[in-house]
Amino acid sequence: MLNQSELNLTPSPFSAARRQVIQAGGLIASSLAAPAIWAAKAPIKVGVMLPASGTYAPLGQAIRRGLELALMGSGNKWGGRPVDWVFVDDESKPAQAAEKAARLLTRDRVDLLIGSVHSGVALAMAKLARDRNKVLLVPNAGANALTRESCAPQIFRTSFSNWQTIVPIGKLMRDRGIKRAAFLTWKYTAGLEYSEGFREGFERHGGEVVLDLSLPFPSLEFTPLLTQIAAAQPDAVCCFFSGSGAAKFLIDYAQAGLKAKIPLYVTGHVTEGILHTLPGAEAQGVVSVLHYADGLPHAEDKQFRSAFETTFGQPPDVFAVQGYDTGLVLSKALSTTQGDTQTDGLMKAMEGLEIASPRGRWKMSKAHNPIQDIYIREVQGQRNVFKGIAAKALADPATGCSLA
């Protein structure tokens, strides 16, 4: 796996833009010498839509770094070809997503697409990828439909379905004696699926959801909802938020005096990548479930964390792992196709892939979603500490997917 000196990782990597310039220069020189080789070794163009602004910007940056680290780990080439990234800020705005993705295909002539964080953006990209017969790798967005009723041969997810990362918390909470819970979230595809998934997992084990609250994405006006929770006095609160909005939620929850009275159990997206931004102990002791944790026993995780910290000067989070795994999937598939990005061959090369990931080994399901372990974690200091396994090799049900 990754070894910094063997794999030629530099402590402070070139920016993506600088790498593109260097690769282009190399190509000009080789094109004069040997046109046939130039054609075979021309860069692969990868169009990447991620949020670089707004509440999900930290997630977008972590995914981008994970992708870049994976490429560095294979000597800056996949399938023997250098890679030219074309990064686009999708601003987590679904209404603009189809147009931005279409521009990547038509104007920038990218060979394949990666994106995005926000479920609504990814759903728009997936429709386009299907219609234009281009491969799309989804490095975060959990919209269940992507690998259920809207699954397609061209769409591969390297992250999770929203269902996978909430349902296991119901049993965990019931095992800890919680009977009545409130749920709150942002009102859009992902939030609504988290709300449904929470109800499914909690009620299946005899729990009762006494309040189900939401606010528009990406509003930070949590106070009226917290007032309702204080009045309802549930045994616990569960929620889905992420990025800088999640940090604001944790601060508001503590400032409302609720942290000391009503325990928080969350999908791990809430406490990933933001703990260092909190002013005090707002997240301490918060319990969550997710497909990654700090302190996992896998050798791949130790090597990945060390390379990531050396390269970027910060510890990685789950989003960085997902970006990295997206790179591992592409690296494997493109080495099978010997750098050919033609859609049919690439799709075939990604079918059933097994990835030795920092999160633990996972397998691409028939519906193109990871079959993976879901961990129990607890915030201690600035870490989401690994506490055990909530669900082993959990596969999304893939309901309505014609591939499964």
- The least distance separating ligand BEZ from the CB of residue 267, rounded to whole angstroms, comes to 8
| 245 interacts with ligand BEZ by CB under 6 A | no
CB under 8 Å to 245, separation ≥6 — which residues? 55, 186, 218, 220
Nearer to ligand BEZ, 269 or 377 (CB): 269
Nearer to ligand BEZ, 162 or 357 (CB): 162
Nearer to ligand BEZ, 145 or 346 (CB): 145
Other Cβ atoms within 10 Å of 178 Cβ, number: 21
| 46 interacts with ligand BEZ by CB under 6 A | no
| Residue 205: alpha-carbon gap to chain centroid | 28
Q: Are 292 and 269 in contact (CB under 8 A)?
A: no
- The least distance separating ligand BEZ from the CB of residue 284, rounded to whole angstroms, comes to 22
Helix intervals (H) in 7-52: 16-33, 35-40
Among 143, 290, 330, 367, binds ligand BEZ (CB under 6 A): 143
| 55 interacts with ligand BEZ by CB under 6 A | no
Structure tokens, 124: 């728009």
DSSP for 311-337, written as a single string? HHSS---HHHHHHHHHHHHHHHHHHHT
Q: Are 42 and 27 in contact (CB under 8 A)?
A: yes
- The least distance separating ligand BEZ from the CB of residue 142, rounded to whole angstroms, comes to 4
- The least distance separating ligand BEZ from the CB of residue 404, rounded to whole angstroms, comes to 20
| 146 interacts with ligand BEZ by CB under 6 A | no
Taking CB under 6 A as the binding criterion, the range among 16-24, 137-145, 148-156, 329-337 that sits at the site for ligand BEZ is 137-145
| 19 interacts with ligand BEZ by CB under 6 A | no
Dihedral sign of CA atoms 59, 60, 65, 68 in order: positive
Q: State how far the alpha carbon of 45 is from the alpha carbons of 79, 101, 134, in Å.
A: 13, 14, 13
Q: Are 162 and 197 in contact (CB under 8 A)?
A: yes
Q: Are 389 and 373 in contact (CB under 8 A)?
A: yes
- The least distance separating ligand BEZ from the CB of residue 190, rounded to whole angstroms, comes to 3
DSSP for 131-144, written as a single string? HHT--EEESS---G
- The least distance separating ligand BEZ from the CB of residue 191, rounded to whole angstroms, comes to 8
Nearer to ligand BEZ, 141 or 178 (CB): 141
Among 60, 139, 142, 170, binds ligand BEZ (CB under 6 A): 142
Query: Comparing C-alpha atoms, which of 343, 395, 354 is closest to residue 373?
Result: 395
Among 9, 57, 69, 141, binds ligand BEZ (CB under 6 A): 141
Among 70, 172, 190, 247, binds ligand BEZ (CB under 6 A): 190
Q: Residues 96 to 125: which contact ligand BEZ by CB under 6 A?
A: 117-119
| 289 interacts with ligand BEZ by CB under 6 A | no
Nearer to ligand BEZ, 119 or 341 (CB): 119
Nearer to ligand BEZ, 137 or 190 (CB): 190
| 134 interacts with ligand BEZ by CB under 6 A | no
Among 64, 174, 269, 359, binds ligand BEZ (CB under 6 A): 269
| 147 interacts with ligand BEZ by CB under 6 A | no
Beta bridge partners of 170: none
Q: What is the enclosing helix (H) or strand (E) of 105?
A: helix 94-106
Among 154, 185, 214, 242, binds ligand BEZ (CB under 6 A): 242
Nearer to ligand BEZ, 43 or 142 (CB): 142
| 148 interacts with ligand BEZ by CB under 6 A | no
The number of residues that bind ligand BEZ (CB under 6 A) is 10
Helix intervals (H) in 238-298: 243-255
| Residue 381: alpha-carbon gap to chain centroid | 23
DSSP E strands in 189-311: the ranges are 208-216, 236-240, 264-267, 287-290
Residues that bind ligand BEZ (CB under 6 A): 117-119, 141-143, 162, 190, 242, 269
